[in-house]
Amino acid sequence: MRPLPSPLLVVTDRTLVPGGEQDLVARIDALLAGGARWVWFRERDLAPAPRETLARALLERVRARGGVLSIGASAALAAGLGADGVHLPGGATPADFAAARGRLPDGLIGVSAHSIGEVEAAARHGADYATLSPIFATSSKPGYGPALGPEAMRAAKACGLPVIALGGIMGERVRPCRAAGAAGIAVMGGLMRSRDPAGDVGALLGAWKT
């Protein structure tokens, strides 16, 4: 089983950052200063050229800190940038996994899952990890069904794949996820909106360790 780069996966969404796209790079700089070392670059609504430009800027920042950048959805973009991996969307097919592995033979291949069945499928298709969401109710990404709760991580762990808890995870919610078998936590809204991004990263990593 491949080790994860960090127990904390930072998920980007420039629309949640005060200042928007212009401030996303500065936000990632602050999160890296706080100890973040793994970033999932989403921004799937951007046109190809500006998306590549923004991803390249973030890759430079992440690499300067010795971190890992996963590109959302596009293995082609990840390979073109020389990024560390790709995070496939929910519903990815065996062909999607095969294409990603073909472009990124040594890359980190992840996928979004919203049920235990989807985690099982990810394991069968050769994913290195999966995010499972929503663990708690979240305003950032509504519409994925009711909160699964930390207990869902127990069943997910049995699939034989590192599973990262995503959705409404901050503060006191970290420990229950780890205790239930999460391999890590992923946070988007809480860190994109944070008034103290470096401090909040440190708090999340500290909560994971205790």
For 98-150, how does the pLDDT look when each residue is reduced to its tens digit (9 = 90+)?
999 999 999 999 999 999 999 999 999 999 999 999 999 876 555 566 899 99
| pLDDT for the residue 142 | 55
| pLDDT for the residue 1 | 80
| pLDDT for the residue 137 | 85
Pairwise CA distance, residues 47 & 53, whole Å = 10
Pairwise CA distance, residues 103 & 75, whole Å = 6
Predicted TM-score (pTM) of the model is 0.96
Residue 122 neighbours by CB distance under 10 Å: 28
DSSP tag of 20: T
Residue numbers of the chain with a pLDDT score lower than 50: none
Cα dihedral 45, 50, 56, 57 sign? negative
Residue 191 neighbours by CB distance under 10 Å: 26
| pLDDT for the residue 144 | 60
| pLDDT for the residue 145 | 66
| pLDDT for the residue 139 | 65
